[in-house]
Amino acid sequence: MKKLRLSLFVATLTFASSAFTAEIPPPQVALVNSLYKAFAFEAVLDEPMGPYFIDQPKEVLLRYITPDLFELIHRDRVCTSTTHEICRLDFAPLWGNQDPAGTSVSFKAGPSGDTVVGNMRIGSQSTQLVYSLVQTRAGWRLNDITYDNGWTLRKILGAQ
């Protein structure tokens, strides 16, 4: 009887630990997930709680994106503030559209170890974004986003 209880206890622990382990996302997915948690207000609130993603200071953006991608975004923001016109970005790059209100999103590991797939839903419409990440000294960082239409954030921002 003691052996049966011990076996059941070990089996239960094994099942519980494997279920717990399966719930921990890979670090690439965790990074993208934390990025969207930080800026979920863009899709949820009518009044922003602070600057939008593309208007964040360098130290905030570098928690999530590569320095190279930061420079491309920064160049676009400088152009916008200098000319008082839309330069290259005329949409919310995290959401892949101009009005992310009501968007829900889920993430999963992509086909390669350096990609994450995001599924966006707005009402009955859905889109898929693919995030390209690179491993840096500071950890995984977002280096590009590919949108449903085939365009990438880096191409839109004018990267060669």
pTM assigned to the model:
0.82
More confident residue, 44 or 33: 33
When pLDDT is averaged across residues 100-124 and rounded to a whole number, the result is 91
Q: Is the predicted pLDDT of residue 1 greater than 70, yes or no?
A: no
The topology under which CATH files domain 26-156 is Nuclear Transport Factor 2; Chain: A, (3.10.450)
Q: Is 119 helix (H, G, I), strand (E, B) or coil?
A: strand
pLDDT at residue 22 in the model: 57
DSSP states of 62-118: TTTB-HHHHHHHHHHHHHHHHHSS--S--SBTTTTBS--TT-EEEEEE-SSTTEEEE
When pLDDT is averaged across residues 8-24 and rounded to a whole number, the result is 50
Q: Is the predicted pLDDT of residue 2 greater than 60, yes or no?
A: no
When pLDDT is averaged across residues 47-55 and rounded to a whole number, the result is 82
Binning pLDDT at 50, 70 and 90, where does residue 134 land? very high
Q: Is the predicted pLDDT of residue 128 greater than 50, yes or no?
A: yes
pLDDT at residue 50 in the model: 76
Q: Is the predicted pLDDT of residue 78 greater than 80, yes or no?
A: yes
When pLDDT is averaged across residues 125-149 and rounded to a whole number, the result is 95
d(CA 32, CA 137): 17
Q: What is the mean pLDDT of the chain?
A: 85
Q: Which of 34-43, 46-55, 58-67, 126-135 has the lowest mean pLDDT?
A: 46-55
Nearest to 127 by CA among 98, 89, 155: 98
d(CA 131, CA 23): 20
pLDDT at residue 97 in the model: 87
